[in-house]
Structure 1
Amino acid sequence: MQSLNDKIRQLAKTLGKEAPEGPVKDYSTLRQEYEKQANKEIQQMQLEAKKQRIEQIHGRSDLNPAWTFANLIEDTADVKEAVSIAKSFIAAHGDPSWRRSGSHMMLFYGDYGRGKSHIAGAIAHELIDKYEISVLYRQLSSLLEMRYFSYDFNAKDDAGQRFREITQELMTVDLLILDEVCVNESQLKKSAQGWLGTLLRQRYSQNKNCILITNHDLTSLGQAVGPYCFESIKEYDTYKVRFSGPSRRRNVEDDIPATTKTSGYIPNQVR
């Protein structure tokens, strides 16, 4: 009596086909192999889809790509402490109950050039890569300018529509980074105070997180944003991080040799 393998080879010979080498695999074995291959392809598709989602989030975030922990020099105590707090904040996102527990705010304050924006950006990059957290980075001054121009009803550049669209995004994005909060401002206008306070309260009610970056100390920040807005900040579970180390920005120095410097004005010479 012919075996199944013999019958298959005989059939292949009759049809003029090349008979398969070795024993023919049974249905169960073939099914397992096909399922394994299908699962591998599905996992690859999922990885590609995740990569695309992460790239899209990075693209919409408006973050500086150089703001990473790898590019950060931890040379002072305040930066080391800030990085430690930042990494704890990132790790907490791995706990779903923490993410649902309420709204969290990191408040970075200190003088110019201390690394506040860099560390905030590094936090954002890691949250995007690890947890696909949507992020939006904006300078408060630019938002207030957009808000001001949105009231020009004679304008033909759709400023009002664009501001309404970005306001919606400001309220719904998972992590909002507001930089230069009240920069060069001892106090915001009342309307701006109300707008910012309302934005923060709406985000708080939706369990959305924020990072605020300012050059003010906490006392002068309260005066600058006004009591209504400052009370909105207090509603959050707040992590206050003070930056007090030296500036990391390059000094702007005169390249003229000391021997040729003069206190008087010398006009450009035509040669």
Structure 2
Amino acid sequence: MKSFQQQLADLGKRLGKNIDELPSLDTAEDYATRRKMYDAQANQDVAKLQLETKQARIQALYGASELNENWTFDRLIEDSQDVKEAISIAKSFIAAHQDPKWRNSRAHMMLFYGDYGRGKSHIAGAIAHQLIQQFEITVLYRQLQTLLELRFFSYDYQAEDKASMKFREISKQLLEVDLLILDEVCVNQTILKQSAQSWLGSLLRQRCADNKNCILITNHHVNDLPKALGTYCFESIKEYETYKVHFQGPSRRGSHESEQASDSSHYQPNHF
């Protein structure tokens, strides 16, 4: 019976190849070296795929959030003490997400209040950008008045714009998203309509029960919110671990200069 080497030589002759010119079989050392090389390449490919997949997920989160792309920390101007304090609290709020116990303990709310153009929406957006990038947190940014108008038109079931279906879809997102940012709460209104008070209060209570965080942005002073939002809605806010941040520096609208925000580890709730 012919050996494997003889069979290989016969096959080489039929193919017009000289067995002596063929590369020799790998030694155990060669195999181990190549195995390490293949494993390293496979690990690189997996890491690259994971990075591409993460980037795709992050882009999808950005697409669903409706955030302003310019609302980032590096575009903020630290020109007053209230902004510096807000950035300090914001970065501490972000850092707290590293602790799973903190994230699962209860719902947290940041309440930004102050006059127009003070940077409230910008800092809220910067928080959202950072949470998406660092923790892949789902975020939804909405102006409250826009939601209330959509809610109003959703009662017209004969309308052809499918407002009722759109409102049902967004209502689901409002409940499920990890961080909900509601801007311009009670804008141009002394008191929120009673039906809107009930709807917003129920939304906040449900999110609180599910340990979902919120950022509310308003130009009302915090002392006026019980009247502006109504008792039921304001009591819903008090169910959260609440952090009030007062913006009272100069208006910053129209300015595009920026400085690097400072870091801080202070993050303590200031309950009502």
TM tier, smaller: 0.7 to 0.9
How much has 1:115 moved relative to structure 2?
0.2
Asked if residue 226 in structure 1 is aligned to residue 230 in structure 2, the reply is yes
How much has 1:152 moved relative to structure 2?
1.0
Asked if residue 113 in structure 1 is aligned to residue 117 in structure 2, the reply is yes
> Within 1, Cα distance between the matches of 2:25 and 2:69?
55
- Name the structure 2 match of 1:174: 178
> Within 1, Cα distance between the matches of 2:121 and 2:188?
17
Q: Is the 8 A contact 1:68 1:125 kept in 2?
A: yes
> Within 2, Cα distance between the matches of 1:180 and 1:28?
64
Amino acid at match of 1:206: D
Asked if residue 102 in structure 1 is aligned to residue 106 in structure 2, the reply is yes
Q: 2:71 aligns with which of 67, 79, 85?
A: 67
Amino acid at match of 1:156: E
Amino acid at match of 1:71: R
- Name the structure 1 match of 2:193: 189
What is the correspondence of 1:21-60 to structure 2 with a 5 Å cutoff?
A: 25-60=29-64
**CA 244–157 in structure 1, closer or farther in 2 if over 3 Å, else same:** same
Kindly provide the CA deviation profile for residues 84-134 of structure 1, in whole angstroms up to 9, marking residues without a partner as x: 000000011111111111100000000000000000000000000000001
TM-score, normalised via structure 2 length: 0.84
**Larger relative CO (CA 8 A, sep 6+): 1 or 2?**
2
**CA 189–28 in structure 1, closer or farther in 2 if over 3 Å, else same:** same
**Identity of counterpart residues, as a percentage?**
62
How much has 1:31 moved relative to structure 2?
2.4
Q: Relative to structure 2, which stretch is displaced further, 149-158 or 129-138? A: 149-158
**CA 249–10 in structure 1, closer or farther in 2 if over 3 Å, else same:** same
- Name the structure 2 match of 1:201: 205
SS of 2:73 mapped into structure 1: coil
Q: What is the count of residue pairs matched by the alignment?
A: 246
> Within 2, Cα distance between the matches of 1:26 and 1:138?
61
How much has 1:244 moved relative to structure 2?
0.7
* Runs (5+) with no aligned partner, structure 1: 1-5, 252-271
- Name the structure 2 match of 1:235: 239
Q: Relative to structure 2, which stretch is displaced further, 66-75 or 33-42? A: 33-42
> Within 1, Cα distance between the matches of 2:22 and 2:183?
71
> Within 1, Cα distance between the matches of 2:22 and 2:250?
78
- Name the structure 1 match of 2:134: 130
What is the correspondence of 1:144-155 to structure 2 with a 5 Å cutoff?
A: 144-155=148-159
Asked if residue 244 in structure 1 is aligned to residue 248 in structure 2, the reply is yes
> Within 2, Cα distance between the matches of 1:246 and 1:226?
30
Kindly provide the CA deviation profile for residues 138-172 of structure 1, in whole angstroms up to 9, marking residues without a partner as x: 00000000000001122111110110000000000
SS of 1:97 mapped into structure 2: helix
How much has 1:13 moved relative to structure 2?
7.6
Amino acid at match of 2:244: K
> Within 1, Cα distance between the matches of 2:109 and 2:10?
73
Q: Is the 8 A contact 1:12 1:19 kept in 2?
A: no
Q: Relative to structure 2, which stretch is displaced further, 74-83 or 24-33? A: 24-33
Asked if residue 212 in structure 1 is aligned to residue 216 in structure 2, the reply is yes
**CA 211–75 in structure 1, closer or farther in 2 if over 3 Å, else same:** same
- Name the structure 2 match of 1:161: 165
How much has 1:23 moved relative to structure 2?
7.1
> Within 1, Cα distance between the matches of 2:44 and 2:112?
44
- Name the structure 1 match of 2:259: none
How much has 1:245 moved relative to structure 2?
0.3
How much has 1:37 moved relative to structure 2?
1.4
SS of 1:242 mapped into structure 2: strand
Kindly provide the CA deviation profile for residues 203-252 of structure 1, in whole angstroms up to 9, marking residues without a partner as x: 0011100000000011211111100000000000111100010111249x
Q: CA RMSD in A?
A: 2.4
